[in-house]
Structure 1
Amino acid sequence: MPNITVNGASLWYDEHGSGAETIVFAHGLLWDGRMFDAQVAALKHRYRCITFDFRGQGRSAVAAGGYDMDTLADDAAELIEKLGAKPCHFVGLSMGGFVGMRLAARRPELIRSLVLMETSAEPEPPESASRYRMLGAIVRVLGKMGMRMVMPRVMRIMFGGRFLDDPTREAERQLWRERGMANHRVGITRALRGVIDRKPVLAELDRIACPTLVMVGDEDVATVPEKAERIRGAIRGARLVIIPGAGHTSSVEEPLFVNRVLTEFLARMAASASA
């Protein structure tokens, strides 16, 4: 698929399927749009599905700046408009959720519904921010060697124990280790700083009026379920689903569960629209 230039950044995107409605998937830190491969495979027969990589991550170009969440939200907004995807169903995981909340609160005309996975409306806690800065410094100084050094710790943050300890899923774990290490050291450390230094948006959530689904793994240590509960409480009518046995990357860890919940959420919307 081609790159698209939005807001001064060159972003990689993929598009699959067709339908009257579009789903845009926004990935979490360290990964790329391929973390939603299982969801795209399940939904592309009924929806136009678009995934993209944030600036400096995955297959997108490293930009000189603009890694703060407000700029990333502007990137996503322009991508949605340029690809003729509005209003879309927006599915954001972790960092993608940071962006999704900003879009739904500030650009409601772009968002038909919102799915927030493994995310937070609050600033990064100081204790985890310090740990993440240390990991980022190792990668920034040592490059690929540093990435190999920190990856065992990163995997424990990004995935839950069920996925990490299952001997039958070693090939999947190796795939995600390799994808994480494939990031450009400059792009990923700039993206990490954007996540660490993000501003809270909890006070904006009462402006979100679209149907909203919040999902979180019960093994998520990066954005614990209590944060998802606070998001649910701040968005009128939002529904919260706890994903058993999933950590911070539930779209990969528990794809069948996530696909079922997503499909049911979208079907309920379609039924309400036709009623």
Structure 2
Amino acid sequence: MMTGEPFDIEIGQAILAGSELGEGLPVVFLHAGVADSRMWASQMQAVAAAGWHAITYDRRGFGETESPDEPFSHLDDLEALLDALDIHAAVLVGCSLGGGLALDFALRHPGRIIGLVLLGTSVTGAPWSTSDMEAAVEAAEEDAYERGDLDMLNKVQAHQWLDGPRAQSGRVGGAVRELFLDMNGIALRKPELTQGEPAPEVWSRVGEVAAPTLLLVGDEDFGALIERHDHLSEEMPNAFAAVLEGVAHLPSIERPDLVNTLLLQFLDAIEGGGSPELD
């Protein structure tokens, strides 16, 4: 179930499922690769209540969006969606793969970006290394994948991304864990899309992104993502960075109160033309 007023947009033979809430300057939420648009429910409500137009959608291969195995580009889909909604420029809020898409879009269409909020973001071409403890969880993921055990794969990925790879499995429970397992379970069972256009290399170009950017990462996330966060905070000319204590890869559902506070401070600063004062 989505937050807000649902909409469908046809792109190629796909039907992208989205929702919107509120009025004002647009804020577009781009979900992680182990989730769908429901990971932003709390942020959608908070942003709309503060006088912004909140928009989110399920990308191909996720949630309620339906897509055949046809040639496509997530970047082109995002552009087509903004055009269909008559949005010229927006704040893009992306987590993980959604953050990577936001960066790709900012480099291709800098004039359409009001600001960026990137949580534990992907960056195509970024280095990746793991500690022994993190590598053990990755090995369990690979084993479940090779055996085709989607239920076990979902549980292992919940440990990786919701609890954090160095944390105790099951650290995050209750409704938040149930939501993760449902969102990721749907994605794992979607028909494979084999014709997606590869994302462009971005790691060497992050310094070109001039838009005001809020960088967030949880200290329970993969070490490589924390190192990436530090690198981006140094390379991006208008970046403001915060490390979230006791949170892993999906802070929007684990600590929505904290994310909402930082997000609204950033949006207020953008609207007022000032610099965010992060608590």
- The question of a shared fold, defined as TM-score above 0.5 by the shorter chain, is answered with yes
Q: Bigger shift: 157-166 or 113-122?
A: 157-166
RMSD, matched Cα: 2.8
Whichever residue aligns with residue 89 of structure 2, its letter is: P
Instruction: Give, in angstroms, the shift of residue 165 of structure 1.
Output: 2.1
Preserved contact between residue 162 and residue 180 of structure 2 (Cα < 8 Å)? no
Preserved contact between residue 212 and residue 239 of structure 1 (Cα < 8 Å)? yes
Instruction: Give, in angstroms, the shift of residue 231 of structure 1.
Output: 1.7
In the other structure, the counterpart of 2:213 is 212
2:77 counterpart of 1:75: yes
> After the TM superposition, which residues 121-160 of structure 1 pair with which residues of structure 2 at under 5 Å, given as runs?
121=123, 122-123=125-126, 125=128, 131=139, 135-138=144-147, 142=148, 146-160=149-163
Instruction: Give, in angstroms, the shift of residue 207 of structure 1.
Output: 2.1
Deviations 1:29-54 (A, max 9, x none): 12111100110111112111001011
* Alignment counterpart, residue 14 of structure 1, candidates 4, 8, 19: 19
CA 1:17/1:147 → structure 2, altered by over 3 Å: closer, same or farther? same
CA 1:134/1:97 → structure 2, altered by over 3 Å: closer, same or farther? farther
CA 1:126/1:165 → structure 2, altered by over 3 Å: closer, same or farther? closer
Preserved contact between residue 62 and residue 190 of structure 2 (Cα < 8 Å)? no
* Alignment counterpart, residue 61 of structure 1, candidates 53, 62, 66: 66
The 2-side partners of 1:238 and 1:124 are apart by: 20
Structure richer in helix, relative to its length: 1
List, as ranges, runs of 4+ consecutive aligned residues in structure 1 with deviation greater than 6 Å: none
* Alignment counterpart, residue 120 of structure 2, candidates 118, 121, 125: 118
Instruction: Give, in angstroms, the shift of residue 86 of structure 1.
Output: 2.2
3-state DSSP class of the match of 1:232?
A: helix
In the other structure, the counterpart of 1:48 is 53
The 1-side partners of 2:229 and 2:122 are apart by: 7
Preserved contact between residue 92 and residue 100 of structure 1 (Cα < 8 Å)? yes
Whichever residue aligns with residue 14 of structure 1, its letter is: S
The 2-side partners of 1:110 and 1:3 are apart by: 22
Whichever residue aligns with residue 37 of structure 1, its letter is: A
In the other structure, the counterpart of 2:28 is 24
CA 1:236/1:53 → structure 2, altered by over 3 Å: closer, same or farther? same
Q: TM-score, normalised by structure 1?
A: 0.83
Instruction: Give, in angstroms, the shift of residue 200 of structure 1.
Output: 3.5
Preserved contact between residue 120 and residue 216 of structure 2 (Cα < 8 Å)? yes
Q: TM-score, normalised by structure 2?
A: 0.82
Whichever residue aligns with residue 213 of structure 1, its letter is: L
Instruction: Give, in angstroms, the shift of residue 202 of structure 1.
Output: 1.3
The 2-side partners of 1:94 and 1:194 are apart by: 18
Instruction: Give, in angstroms, the shift of residue 206 of structure 1.
Output: 2.3
3-state DSSP class of the match of 2:93?
A: strand
Instruction: Give, in angstroms, the shift of residue 113 of structure 1.
Output: 0.5
What is the total number of aligned residue pairs between the two structures? 257
CA 1:157/1:222 → structure 2, altered by over 3 Å: closer, same or farther? farther
The 2-side partners of 1:88 and 1:271 are apart by: 15
In the other structure, the counterpart of 2:37 is 33
The 2-side partners of 1:135 and 1:125 are apart by: 21
2:165 counterpart of 1:165: no
Preserved contact between residue 114 and residue 211 of structure 1 (Cα < 8 Å)? yes
Preserved contact between residue 16 and residue 65 of structure 2 (Cα < 8 Å)? yes
Instruction: Give, in angstroms, the shift of residue 65 of structure 1.
Output: 4.2
Unpaired runs of 5+ residues, structure 1, are: none
In the other structure, the counterpart of 2:230 is 229
Whichever residue aligns with residue 182 of structure 2, its letter is: E
Unpaired runs of 5+ residues, structure 2, are: 1-5, 275-279
2:259 counterpart of 1:253: no
Deviations 1:67-101 (A, max 9, x none): 7xxx2112112111211122101001001011000
CA 1:84/1:99 → structure 2, altered by over 3 Å: closer, same or farther? same
The 1-side partners of 2:10 and 2:218 are apart by: 34
